[in-house]
Amino acid sequence: MTLEAEPIRRITEEILSQYNRRPKGWSVLADQRGNVLVLGPSSGYWLRLIWLNPHEYTGAGIKVDDPEKMRRIVEGTPSYGLRPLPRGSVQKLLRTVQQNGRVEGSLAEKLLSIPPVSTSELQKRRPDAIMSGPIITHKDLGAISEGQRRLERKLASEAEKLFRKRYPLRSGMYT
């Protein structure tokens, strides 16, 4: 693994660029501690996010040199992506959630069978609604292996440094 952590903005731009070139074959795992594992068709990234508010975050990320080991974790799960939803499916989706509290079965399969597309394709199509996901939630991504725990500690430290540098007044509230 590359041990040089980079600011989250730079890493997410790289991820989005790769996604737009090849939107199929992605997986995203996240835990409640701010760790996110993004696996693309030929690359992977480990991110450590520090949430500033519900719509903004900072943090650090590292490119994973050999994502194949981690890909086994998500084997058989639906591919992550941005999917344009056909007309009427939003109402059906909302009705199902209201009635059952979740989406499962044939509706879930139908929605996840829609191929993920690039952001430029979404701009061309201009769909009424877009579904993103799925994001697989894991209790603790650091528990996957000892190597992951070491990586998690390093990224947590780097993310904290970036947070303190970029938001010194905000970070002072948490010390």
- Tokens representing residue 1 in the block: 């693994």
What is the bridge-based pairing of β-strands 35-39 and 27-30?
A: antiparallel
Q: Write the DSSP string, 53-70.
A: ETTEEEEEEEEES-THHH
Look at residue 1 in the predicted model and tell me its pLDDT. 46
Look at residue 2 in the predicted model and tell me its pLDDT. 46
CB atoms near residue 40 (< 10 Å): 23
How far, in Å, CA of 122 to CA of 83, rounded?
8
Using alpha carbons, list the distances in angstroms from residue 71 to 6, 16, 37, 84, 118. 22, 19, 10, 25, 22
Cβ 155 vs Cβ 60: under 8 Å = yes
Q: What is the pLDDT along the chain (175 residues), one digit of tens a residue?
A: 446 788 999 999 999 999 999 999 999 999 888 899 999 998 999 999 988 888 888 899 988 877 777 777 788 888 999 999 988 888 888 888 888 888 878 888 888 999 999 999 999 999 989 999 999 888 877 666 666 667 777 777 777 777 777 767 665 555 5
Look at residue 146 in the predicted model and tell me its pLDDT. 64
Name the pTM for this structure: 0.80
Look at residue 134 in the predicted model and tell me its pLDDT. 94
Q: Nearest CA to 138 among 117, 157, 150, 152?
A: 152
Look at residue 173 in the predicted model and tell me its pLDDT. 59
Look at residue 139 in the predicted model and tell me its pLDDT. 82
- Tokens representing residue 154 in the block: 């390093």
